[in-house]
Structure 1
Amino acid sequence: MQITFLGTSSGVPTRSRNVSSVTLRLPQRAEFWLFDCGEGTQHQLLRSELKTSQLRRIFITHLHGDHIFGLMGLLASCGLAGNVDRVDIYGPPGLNEYLKACGKYSHTRFSFPTQVHTVSPGIIYEDEEYTVICGALKHRVTAFGYRIVEKDRPGRFDVEKAKALKIPSGPIYGQLKRGETVTLDDGRKIQGKDLCGEPEIGRKFVYCTDTVYCDGAVDLAQDADVLIHEATFAHQDSQLAFERLHSTSTMAAQVALSAGVKQLIMTHFSPRYAPGNNIGLEDLLKEAQAIFPKTKLAYDFFSYEIPRRRVPELVVEGR
């Protein structure tokens, strides 16, 4: 699972930062998911190593322009390219009507199937590998955050060891791979866990923007491996944050601390903190790290590989 930031500015683009868009690449599926789609996102995709033919799902947090103005253009270009099989789009009420109006007045028809799913808090998508959960945030309009949970996978099955134990191949291997205990024809009981490596613990990715500090963000981010959280304002501008229902750097850090996340990556920065101004983004980073040291600043085209978790070691009494 690899995160790539395509846009990290808030409200308007700057010379070095486009407006909101983040991708989550799932290499084992040869596909990626897109979170928000501000104006110019398709240009950012062209400048990245991602292929639009692998776009499969789009998750929209809310209907402000800096998060959706690039959506229709991206979908239209994918249609003209003819290299996308299907796209499922998830977002708040009104998103489907917005896309229908764009299509109607621009006379645009997609050459591939699309489906818009209107979300509400809870599980909004699940398959054999991933669960996607939606949670309400606190902004000036209806806004949601998203939590992607990778399901645990059993460890690698040791075929050579199975052969050495003279375990006949076939359906029995499947049972052992799933960790089951199997009784062989000769009476031996074989435990699947003895033939499998350590299980791979599923990773958790959470995306929260736009929002002021709220319990909803903390709940959504619980025990996440990576939390992407907006940090529009510096701490000294917290009054602006409360008025506009955005977060400061310290609010983002407090969410990460309260939720027990492994890594915080801040994004959605106000252009007021551009180089040369009295307060810069490095100041926002210091503010956040004073509360939550495992904090990074996102920038356009920054990529981050979410590391796999190790199986927790058993605590043995007396040690």
Structure 2
Amino acid sequence: MELLFLGTGAGVPAKHRNVSSLALKLLQERKAVWLFDCGEATQHQILHTSLKPRRIEKIFITHLHGDHIFGLLGLLGSRSFQGGESPVTVYGPRGIKEYILTSLKISGTYLKYPLHILEIEESGIIFEDDQFRVITALLEHGLPSYGFRIEEKDRPGELLVEKLESLGIPKGPHYRKLKALESIELSDGRIVHGIDVTGPKKHGRIVTILGDTRPCENALMLSRHADVLVHEATFSTGNEEMAKEFYHSTSGQAVETAIRAGAKRLLLNHISSRYTKEDSEQLEKDAQSRFPVTKVVYDFDEIEIPVKGIMD
């Protein structure tokens, strides 16, 4: 599981930062990529990475401001031209369906793959399967803006191969059943239970990705005990009044959310184009003075989210 930042700027493209988009790479977990926001020129940014558009399975749109959606139609169309055939689901605020369908119709763009569009009506679980759960909640911004909490479910422990060999269990279907914590009967009548030949379960990881927002309780709720919190920091500490006026957060306010939520790592994103690289480095140092595990991200940064330890 890795986060790949395709655009880390706010509002308008800059030479050193494109507008918002990031990919959650789940290649080992499900051979797929989940995209969060798709600002202008996202597909151009992808060209500079190893990411394959056909791997994109889901696209989550935090809100409908242009710097978060103006690259969406180009990406959807190009994915079709490039041979993408698997379904894509887009999640976003009310209005995202009209935006996509109208744009496809007017431009005469035909997609060769099934496209599903789910408009978020309220906070809660918007996706769940046997691997992941995605929870969303409304944040505080000029337009309806959402944050997303991606929870990986706890995974079964590893098979204790030496123990299996000592029991004389051959590799093959028996291993798969035991890995799934099922029970098997051997040819000599012995019953072996999966729970007895697997190690402890592994904790699932939690990634929180927030859209544009002022500090608010829902941002805090979504960030509780996250392994990684991606939080906007449009303005630097000391610009709280300006941030409030434009419905954004400062880097200091992002740090405060991370501390209060008990997050393990903070990635500061959505940086105003007014800040140079040197300004961003100072912003990072200031944030680290309060929350050491903070990083200001840049376009094309790739952040690995390691597998967590075993459960007690």
Is TM (by shorter chain) over 0.5?
A: yes
Partner of 1:316: none
What is the distance in 2 between the residues matched to 1:60 and 1:247? 19
Q: How big is the alpha-carbon RMSD for the aligned residues of Structure 1 and Structure 2? A: 2.2
> Structure 2 CA distance, aligned partners of 1:34 and 1:135?
18
Q: Deviations over 1:269-297 (max 9, x none)?
A: 01111247xxx112221232222211011
Residue by residue, what CA displacement relative to the aligned partner does 1:230-264 show, whole Å, maximum 9, x if unpaired? 00001111111000110100111111111111110
Partner of 2:301: 302
The answer for the alignment partner of 1:287 in structure 2 is 286
Sort the Cα spacing of 1:267 and 1:174 in 2 relative to 1 into closer, same or farther, 3 A: same
1:114, distance to aligned residue in structure 2 (A) = 0.2
Residue 27 of structure 1 deviates from its aligned partner by: 1.4
Q: State the 1:170 CA deviation.
A: 8.2
Greater mean deviation of Cα atoms: 33-42 or 150-159: 150-159
One-letter code aligned to 2:76: L
Contact 2:200 2:311 in 1 (8 A): no
Deviations 1:198-217 (A, max 9, x none): 32211111101200111101
Instruction: Give the match's secondary structure for 2:111.
Output: coil
1:90 alignment partner, SS class: strand
Structure 1 partner of 2:51: 50
Match of 2:276 in 1: 274
- Contact map agreement 1:256 1:264 (CA 8 A) in 2: yes
Partner-residue secondary structure (3-state), 1:236: coil
Aligned to 1:85: 86
The amino acid across from 2:20 in the alignment is S
Q: Please tell me whether residue 99 in structure 1 is matched to residue 92 in structure 2.
A: no
Distance, in Å, in 2 between the alignment partners of 1:96 and 1:207 is: 22
Aligned to 1:13: 13
TM-score (norm 1): 0.90
Distance in 2 between residues matched to 1:193 and 1:85, nearest whole Å: 36
Q: For the Cα contact (< 8 Å) 2:202–2:311, is it kept in 1?
A: no
Count of residues in Structure 1 that have an aligned counterpart in Structure 2: 310
The aligned amino acid for 2:42 is T
CA shift for structure 1 position 171: 7.5
Q: Give, in angstroms, the shift of residue 130 of structure 1.
A: 0.8
Partner residue, 1:135: 137
Q: How does 1:1-319 map to 2 (within 5 A)?
A: 1-28=1-28, 29-119=30-120, 120-166=122-168, 176-179=178-181, 192-275=194-277, 280-311=279-310
Return the alpha-carbon distance in structure 1 between the equivalents of residues 229 and 265 of structure 2. 6
Alpha-carbon spacing, 1:290–1:312, altered in 2? closer, same or farther (3 Å): farther
Which secondary structure state, in structure 1, belongs to the residue aligned with residue 231 of structure 2? strand
* Letter aligned with residue 309 of structure 1: K
Pairwise CA distance, 1:192:
3.7
- Worse overlay, 169-178 or 40-49: 169-178
Unaligned 5+ runs, structure 2: none
